[in-house]
Every structure is written in structure tokens, then in C-alpha cells.
Chains A and B, each alone.
Chain A
């Protein structure tokens, strides 16, 4: 029981980081970044090459993973999403654009990196034994969870207390009003997209140390991220964090009792039933 709780919390921390990036982009641009999972996957590969192959220090590799994906996000936003958002009349367009970028990233990665499962050596060895062998907690898992939480806290502080952070919140609330207050909306939107993509990269770079990565993992991660932000409410920071922990816990409990494909079937069914009663998630506002 303790073991399940620990697994759930560790998984939840990492998932919350993934969901936070997706929800960030959504709140600012009203675009669901379908390529979020693919960005996670690329972050994993950056870590694999820099840390695993070229022996960069872990911290540097982690930052570079976030930075690389941030730059990719910026480029996507500038050259793909902004033109479509500016010219299209149907909201489908930006979504299909996002799906297109997801296909593109996944298949470029497939051609460049191949299909093999990649992993890096664990960050630290050793296992924490709790309660006289009741539960095991490898130190590397603990470290990843703590780092995830650190990044989440850092992001929350940034959004809450800095000037660009305030501008981000303003744009998320009301674009026109923010513009009238002298916020450089174009820059802030790009910043938001970059942060969202960077978070995906960091999450991928962190989790590659535990689970490894392969080029096909993107759709899976995106689907999980969708579940999390639908549980919590799209575009709401607290919702993403709660959604992450709820899904992490559900997965930990499910994997303990059932085969994995059955677990996800049940999670999907539970989520659909949940959305019937709370179509905007736990904390979400209704919107069109």
C-alpha cells in the first residue's frame, strides 16, 4: 500500500510537470499543443545524447534540453501558429496545424534517431528502504520527483512574481486588455509557447533517466497530458498539477492490480464518465 502511494506520488510529480507545459500554452494561445508528447520525446533524446553519449554534466544537459525545445517552440509559434491564428476563421485550423507539427516531429525523430529504446545510466545508485522493507524508493526516482517539484515551484514563482510572469497571466486572462495596458502580446505569447515547450523538454530529459525513451512515445505522453488537463480543467495551473497527481495515483493503483492496457481502458472510461458530470474539469471555467 505504501509502495503504491510512493509510486503514485513520484509519477504524479513528473506528470504534473508535463501537464503544466501543455496547460501553459493552452491558457495563452487557446491552442492545444498536440506535439507536446513529441517535444517530451525530443527532450529525452537531447539528454540521451548530451549526458549519455557525450558525458556532459547532468545539469547542463537538463538545461540544454529545456533550451532546445524552447527554441523549437519559439520557431513553431513564430512561423507556423501565428500565421494560421492570424488568417484562419475556423478554430480547427490551429488544431490541425498542431497535429501536423506532431506528425512532423515524430517522423523526423524516427528518421534521425531510429526506433530503438534508449536509456541513460541512473543519476545516483542506492535504494531507500522504508518501514522495514514495506516499500522501496530508489534514490534516482526520488531525485527526479524532487527536481520536478522544484521546476514546478520555480515556474509558479516566476508567473506569480516577475514582470513577464504577470504579463503572461494578463494575456491568458484577456488579450485585448493586456495589449491596451502596454503588454507586448506577441513577445509574451512567444515566451509562453517557449516555456511550455521547454517544460516538455525538461520533463522528457528528467524521465529518460528512469524509463528511457523511444521515438514512438510521443502520442502516449500527449494522450496522458490531455487526460491530466481535462481532469483539472484546461488552462488552469492548479488543475494541471492536481490532474498530474490524480493520473499518477490512478496509474500506480491500476498497475498494481491489472495489466497495463486494462488500466488505461478503465482510466479512459472513468474520465469520460467524469467529464459527463464536470465537463470543464475540476477547476476549469466554461468556454466555447
Chain B
């Protein structure tokens, strides 16, 4: 196992272990639990964005697919009366399927064209749900969904979130550190060259995009479960941008990057409650500072090299 990979793994295991043990220590605090659930959901969605960065596409439509996941599970639960154990995987599949269909059309666009189009796509998906008639109930959204787990304790839902996070990280890990990950890297660096070496670029990028959208749908569906509602405004362009920021802050070379970014920023803002109204402003400033000073993300910082003393000059 390479050094970066080891660091990546230790970061993931550390965070997951802390998340598993923490509720035993803070059983009383529903508030803290809900913050962590929020983090876990966001991290699942952001890990999808991270995966599209891997194939060299800047994905600003992740919020749209989270919205698809949220609405599909809400409709399945409220209208079709399914249990959420079925609705959750089905919404993930639905989002992945939408991703594959839309992706097969738009993935041949590159660079800035792709990102401009995905911004428009987020808007289009939101407008589609806004105009969905009786099925999606317009701007009112679908509310009053039944509780996922009976009883007062938030813990079952919390552990579901951790399980989904572990699943998402597992999937991304499996993809990134395998032959598939190598292919994705090759496609990011030079798509034409990869194709000339016999890589079926078209198939692989749709695969990556579908997995990413599926993760978005899964996270969106989880949010629907724990807020028991979904609106067209639940996920907007702004959220898509935040997911990108999480990935960049955490680091694009590490599977744990999306999770690290999501947890550190979300928790930071819970600590700075007084500044909540300036959240977007601070995100904007932070984004600029990160781009200027931390081009490789938090995970690449020397100060974090607890797993192994780094070789001289290994970073930077």
C-alpha cells in the first residue's frame, strides 16, 4: 500500500471509529447527533462530486441528483406506501439511472462547457420538480413523511447515516484504488490518449457519473428521511457549489477528502453559530483562500502526517 493510500485509510478509519463511539459518550445531546447526521449525509453526497473530479469533470449538478433521490424516496414512501428500507436503495438506483441517461448525452462536453451545463441542469431539475403537478406538489413540497424509526431516540437514524457514509466511502475507495481508478486517472489526464490505449472512454465516464449521481441520490434520500420532507429548494445550485468546496478543502487526491471537507466545514459552522447568517459569505472567502493557499487540500498538509513520517520533499 502506498503512503498516500495508508494516510487515506487511517483518516477514514479514524473518523468512522470516532463516529461510532461518540454517541455512547454524548447520549444526551440530540443536537450534536443531528449535526453529525447532517455531516454524514452531506459527506455521502459530496463523495459523488469527488468521484466526478476523478474523471476530470467539474460536477455542479450534484444537488439536482440529491433532489431526485429525495423526491423519489418521498414519493415512494408517501404515495406508494413503501418502507424506507426499499425506498432508500430504489431512490439511489433512480438517481444513478437518471445520471447514466443524462450523462450519456452531456459527458462528451469537457471542462468549462460541462460545468456551465451542469449548473443549468441543477436549475432544470429543480424546475422540473416545481412543475411536477400533483406528484411533487409544486413549491409546497412533500411534507409529513412518517418517522423512519419509531421512538424518540435519534440513534437508529444516526447509525443508518454512518452506515451509508461507510458504504459510500467503500464504493469510492473500491473504485479509486483499483484498475478502474487507474483508468479514471488516465482519462482525467488525457482522454484522447486513454482512448487510443483501448479504454472505452464513453463507457467508463458514464459509469463514473452514474455512481456519482447514485451517491447523490442516496444522500438526498437520507436527508428526506431525517427531515421527513423535501422541497424544490432543499438542494440548489448553492449546495452544489458547497459540495465542490468540501472536496477541494479535503483534497482531490484522497478518497477521504470529501468527508474531511464536509465534516470540518459543517462542524465549524455549528461552532460559530453566531456567524450563521454570514455562512455563504464565509464560504466564499474560504473558497478564495483555499484556492490561493491550499491548492492540494487539508489531507495533503504536512501537519497531518500522523500515519508515517513523510519523506523529505514528498509533499509540495
Interface residues, chain A, with chain B CB atoms under 8 Å away: 26, 30, 32, 80, 83-84, 87-93, 95-97, 99-108, 110-111, 219, 222-223, 226-227, 229-230, 234, 259, 261-262, 264-265, 268-269, 271-273, 275-276, 279-280, 287-288
List the B residue with the shortest CB-CB distance to A105: B284
> Which among A80, A106, A275 has the highest number of chain B CB atoms within 10 Å?
A275
Sampled A-B contacts (20; CB under 8 Å):
A32-B112, A84-B292, A95-B58, A97-B291, A99-B241, A100-B287, A103-B281, A103-B287, A104-B285, A223-B119, A227-B120, A230-B113, A230-B117, A259-B131, A264-B127, A265-B127, A268-B120, A272-B120, A279-B108, A287-B111
* A106, A265, A272: the one within 8 Å of B105 (CB): A272
User: When the two chains form their complex, are residues A111 and B281 in contact, meaning their CB atoms are under 8 A apart?
Assistant: yes
Contacts of A84 in B (CB 8 A): 291-292
Please encode chain B, from 195 to 229, with 1 for each CB lying within 8 Å of some chain A CB and 0 for all others.
00000000000000000000000000000000000
Chain B residues touching A, range: 35 or more
Q: Which of B84-110 contact A (CB under 8 A)?
A: 102, 105-106, 108-110
List the A residue with the shortest CB-CB distance to B102: A272
Contacts of B278 in A (CB 8 A): 107, 111
Extra A-B contacts (5), CB below 8 Å, given A95-B115, A101-B288, A226-B120: A88-B295, A100-B291, A110-B281, A276-B105, A287-B111
B280 within 8 A of A: yes
Known: A108-B281, A234-B112. A92 touches B53 (CB 8 A): yes
User: When the two chains form their complex, are residues A269 and B124 in contact, meaning their CB atoms are under 8 A apart?
Assistant: yes
* B121, B123, B241, B291: the one within 8 Å of A93 (CB): B291
User: When the two chains form their complex, are residues B292 and A80 in contact, meaning their CB atoms are under 8 A apart?
Assistant: yes
User: When the two chains form their complex, are residues B291 and A268 in contact, meaning their CB atoms are under 8 A apart?
Assistant: no
Q: Which of B41-92 contact A (CB under 8 A)?
A: 53, 58
User: When the two chains form their complex, are residues A103 and B112 in contact, meaning their CB atoms are under 8 A apart?
Assistant: no
Contacts of B131 in A (CB 8 A): 259, 261-262, 265
User: When the two chains form their complex, are residues B120 and A96 in contact, meaning their CB atoms are under 8 A apart?
Assistant: no
Q: Which of B283-299 contact A (CB under 8 A)?
A: 283-288, 291-292, 295
B145 within 8 A of A: no
List the A residue with the shortest CB-CB distance to B106: A272
User: When the two chains form their complex, are residues A279 and B284 in contact, meaning their CB atoms are under 8 A apart?
Assistant: no
Q: What's the least CB distance linking A115 to chain B, in Å? A: 12
User: When the two chains form their complex, are residues B119 and A100 in contact, meaning their CB atoms are under 8 A apart?
Assistant: no
Q: Which 6 A-B pairs have the closest CB atoms?
A: A103-B284, A100-B287, A107-B281, A268-B124, A104-B284, A226-B116
Contacts of B237 in A (CB 8 A): 219, 223
Q: What's the least CB distance linking A213 to chain B, in Å? A: 19
Contacts of A262 in B (CB 8 A): 127, 131
Cα(A222)–Cα(B241), bound, Å: 14
B248 within 8 A of A: yes
Q: What's the least CB distance linking A149 to chain B, in Å? A: 26
User: When the two chains form their complex, are residues B288 and A97 in contact, meaning their CB atoms are under 8 A apart?
Assistant: yes
Known: A234-B112, A288-B111. A97 touches B287 (CB 8 A): yes
B11 within 8 A of A: no
* B108, B109, B280, B287: the one within 8 Å of A96 (CB): B287
User: When the two chains form their complex, are residues A99 and B244 in contact, meaning their CB atoms are under 8 A apart?
Assistant: yes
Q: What's the least CB distance linking A109 to chain B, in Å? A: 10
Q: What's the least CB distance linking B235 to chain A, in Å? A: 14
Cα(A223)–Cα(B285), bound, Å: 22
List the B residue with the shortest CB-CB distance to A104: B284
> Which among B110, B112, B245, B286 has the highest number of chain A CB atoms within 10 Å?
B112
B128 within 8 A of A: yes
Contacts of B287 in A (CB 8 A): 96-97, 99-100, 103
Q: What's the least CB distance linking A216 to chain B, in Å? A: 11
